[in-house]
Amino acid sequence: MSNAFDDALHSLQLSEDGSYTAYSKEYDEHYHSTKDGALAESLKKHVIPAFSVITGEEVNILDICYGLGFNTLATLLYVKENFPDKKINIYSPELDDSLIKSLEYFTYPKEFEIFREIITTLSREGVYKRANLYIEVYLGDAREYIKKFHNKFDIIYQDAFSPSANPILWTQEYFADIKNVMKCSAVLTTYSIALKTRLALYKNGFVLHLNEGEGFRVSTVAAFKELTEFKVVNMEHKISCNKDVQALRDRDL
Ligand SMILES: C[S@@+](CC[C@H](N)C(=O)[O-])C[C@H]1O[C@@H](n2cnc3c(N)ncnc32)[C@H](O)[C@@H]1O
């Protein structure tokens, strides 16, 4: 299918749950798992596990990276349906400004239609502000952007392209900076279950957990303490069985 969203770098792709995602010609990767489905992946690997742990009335979220905005929009959907009184603040860096400008033409799932004004405003102006909601899409490098914050976020959605396609957003040093912006009670969600990703988190003091359930491939939830909601990954055992695996480091890129 071709539409106003398609351009030299992106093309629209139907995913398994009926929602559309995109394929990046630059990174040679899809924005979401086409098997799990774009909307299902956002909800099941990021939003639902994060909000099963984080219960405060005001929640600060770092959405790495905005991409098509599914994690941000799925958050709004889930919060509207389950916690309508929460105040939500979402901060999301995105390098690709032409992608952001094209999003008002993207074929979103019907569940996001109620957010049409938000989608258009973010696509054109990058900021959306109402009484209980603040969203900013920062056009630029996530590694620079996160240096502005300290001890701020309750939730991190770690949803960059894969460690092999975009390693700069998966190194031990990157996760040290991410740790610096997280509250000690915060949680990080990611689709990646790669040992080198988990090692980069583990070396920064994160406790790794398995997020598993019906209809999606397992993913990772990381926090600074053991979470009762998830099964803990025994990292010492994994390290002893895979002695050659190393965390990605900035110096190796
Ligand atoms: C897998 S997609 C994100 C999908 C998104 N979370 C969603 O739900 O639609 C990865 C995004 O990271 C962006 N990106 C790559 N390197 C970046 C960087 N250094 N800083 C900010 N964004 C970056 C890409 O342009 C792409 O849009």
Give the neighbor-by-neighbor strand order of the sheet with 153-158. 127-130, 133-139, 87-94, 58-64, 153-158, 182-190, 216-223, 207-213, 231-232
Q: What is the pLDDT of residue 35?
A: 87
The response to whether residue 65 sits with its C-beta less than 6 Å from ligand 1 reads yes
Q: What is the pLDDT of residue 148?
A: 97
For 142-199, the pLDDT digits (tens) are: 999 999 999 999 999 999 999 999 999 999 999 999 999 999 999 999 999 999 999 9
**Distance of alpha carbon 212 from its chain centroid, rounded?**
17
Q: Report the nearest-CA residue for atom 14 of ligand 1.
A: 95
Q: What is the pLDDT of residue 175?
A: 98
For 10-48, the pLDDT digits (tens) are: 888 888 888 988 899 889 899 988 888 899 999 999 999
Q: What is the pLDDT of residue 186?
A: 98
Q: How far is the CA of 211 from the centre of ligand 1 (A)?
A: 22
For 198-217, the pLDDT digits (tens) are: 999 999 999 999 999 988 99
Q: What is the pLDDT of residue 159?
A: 97
For 226-250, the pLDDT digits (tens) are: 999 999 999 999 999 999 999 999 9
Report how far residue 44's alpha carbon sits from residue 220's, in angstroms, rounded to the nearest whole number.
11
Atom of ligand 1 nearest to the CA of 29: 1
The response to whether residue 121 sits with its C-beta less than 6 Å from ligand 1 reads no
**pTM of full prediction above 0.85:** yes
The response to whether residue 9 sits with its C-beta less than 6 Å from ligand 1 reads no
The response to whether residue 42 sits with its C-beta less than 6 Å from ligand 1 reads yes
Q: Report the nearest-CA residue for atom 3 of ligand 1.
A: 67
The response to whether residue 67 sits with its C-beta less than 6 Å from ligand 1 reads yes
Helix intervals (H) in the chain:
38-41, 48-53, 70-82, 97-102, 116-125, 142-145, 172-181, 195-202, 235-241
| DSSP letter (8 states) at residue 191 | S
Atom of ligand 1 nearest to the CA of 160: 10
Q: What is the pLDDT of residue 3?
A: 63
Contact 76, 115 (CB under 8 A): yes
Residue 1 has pLDDT above 60, yes or no: no
For 91-146, the pLDDT digits (tens) are: 999 999 999 999 999 999 999 999 999 999 999 999 999 999 999 999 999 999 99
Atom of ligand 1 nearest to the CA of 32: 1
| DSSP letter (8 states) at residue 8 | S
Where b means 16+ CB within 10 Å and e means fewer, 65-102 reads bbbbbbbbbbbbbbbeeeeeebebbbbbbbebeebbeb
Q: How far is the CA of 66 from the centre of ligand 1 (A)?
A: 6
Q: What is the pLDDT of residue 71?
A: 98
